[in-house]
Amino acid sequence: MADSFGPMRDEDADDGVVGMGPDGASSRKEPIRVLVVDDHALFRRGLEIVLAAEEDIQVVGEAGDGAEAVDKAADLLPDIVLMDVRMPKRGGIEACTSIKEVAPSAKIIMLTISDEEADLYDAIKAGATGYLLKEISTDEVATAIRAVADGQSQISPSMASKLLTEFKSMIQRTDERRLVPAPRLTERELEVLKLVATGMNNRDIAKELFISENTVKNHVRNILEKLQLHSRMEAVVYAMREKILEIR
């Protein structure tokens, strides 16, 4: 358990997770405070052992179900909640909404065996910032925690593919709808949004467009402000629905 949760690879992914948002190492001085939520005590203990080796990550508490997770989140105010989807008493997705209410600054990463599309969509709607399958390696868990703490959304590659498939279906379902004109994005902002939608992180987008990472971050910030949205994931869903961009 302390070495790995097993390999997790996708043919089209260079990294174990797909990122959507700011990229790079955290500049925070204090350790990232993590609450671990899973109904299996052995799995919780394994995560604690793995994360204890990371100087910039601190496990501040654990919970065995969603109800306990809400109480612990309210008391501990963690930076990150690492939580399973399906647990007794109260599931992780249901707990997401309540955790966001009692600890608004906490960011939630679902770490689960569930690769069901419905769970992914429900988790995103409930406020989760990441959705990772438990097959990822221990190194990738720590990397995902840092990325989400820095404002990046994280989705396992196989789940990201399913999300894009749903976006395409969404377009088909709205073909006959009369859509309200969307805010006008610049040509460069559209280019950035299209690359974000494919799962590229800021570093890779910068290389693709031959611009700096700071410039990419500025473009993403402008996109969110124009669309009046809060996350990159929401921006992609909105853009697909309003036919601002199309992913083939």
Asked if 146 and 205 sit in the same domain, the reply is: no
* 80 strand-pairing partners: 34, 107
Mean pLDDT score across all residues of the chain:
79
Q: Categorize the per-residue pLDDT at 3 as very low, low, confident or very high, splitting at 50, 70 and 90.
A: very low
pLDDT score at 163? 66
Asked if 72 and 128 sit in the same domain, the reply is: yes
| Count of structural domains, the chain | 2
> 74 is in which domain, residue-wise?
18-157
Domain finish residue from 157, 186, 206? 157
CATH of the domain at 115: 3.40.50.2300
Is it the case that residue 183 has pLDDT exceeding 80? no
Asked if 153 and 178 sit in the same domain, the reply is: no
Is it the case that residue 75 has pLDDT exceeding 50? yes
Is it the case that residue 79 has pLDDT exceeding 80? yes
Asked if 29 and 109 sit in the same domain, the reply is: yes
Q: Mean pLDDT, to the nearest integer, of 111-131? A: 83
Give the residue with greater pLDDT, 241 vs 71.
Answer: 71
Q: What would the pLDDT profile of 214-225 be if each residue is shown by its tens digit?
A: 999 999 989 888
**198 occurs within a structural domain:** yes
Q: What would the pLDDT profile of 8-34 be if each residue is shown by its tens digit?
A: 333 333 344 544 444 444 455 789 999
Asked if 121 and 209 sit in the same domain, the reply is: no
Give the residue with greater pLDDT, 176 vs 4.
Answer: 176
Give the residue with greater pLDDT, 49 vs 162.
Answer: 49
Q: 3-class secondary structure for 153-191?
A: EEECHHHHHHHHHHHHHHHHHCCCCCCCCCCCCCHHHHH
- The reported pTM is 0.60
Give the residue with greater pLDDT, 177 vs 144.
Answer: 144
Q: Mean pLDDT, to the nearest integer, of 168-181? A: 49
**8 occurs within a structural domain:** no
Domain finish residue from 104, 122, 157? 157
CATH of the domain at 197: 1.10.10.10
Asked if 186 and 138 sit in the same domain, the reply is: no
Q: Categorize the per-residue pLDDT at 247 as very low, low, confident or very high, splitting at 50, 70 and 90.
A: low
Is it the case that residue 147 has pLDDT exceeding 50? yes
pLDDT score at 22? 43
> To the nearest whole percent, how much of the chain has pLDDT over 70?
75
Q: What would the pLDDT profile of 133-146 be if each residue is shown by its tens digit?
A: 888 888 889 999 99
**197 occurs within a structural domain:** yes
Asked if 28 and 148 sit in the same domain, the reply is: yes
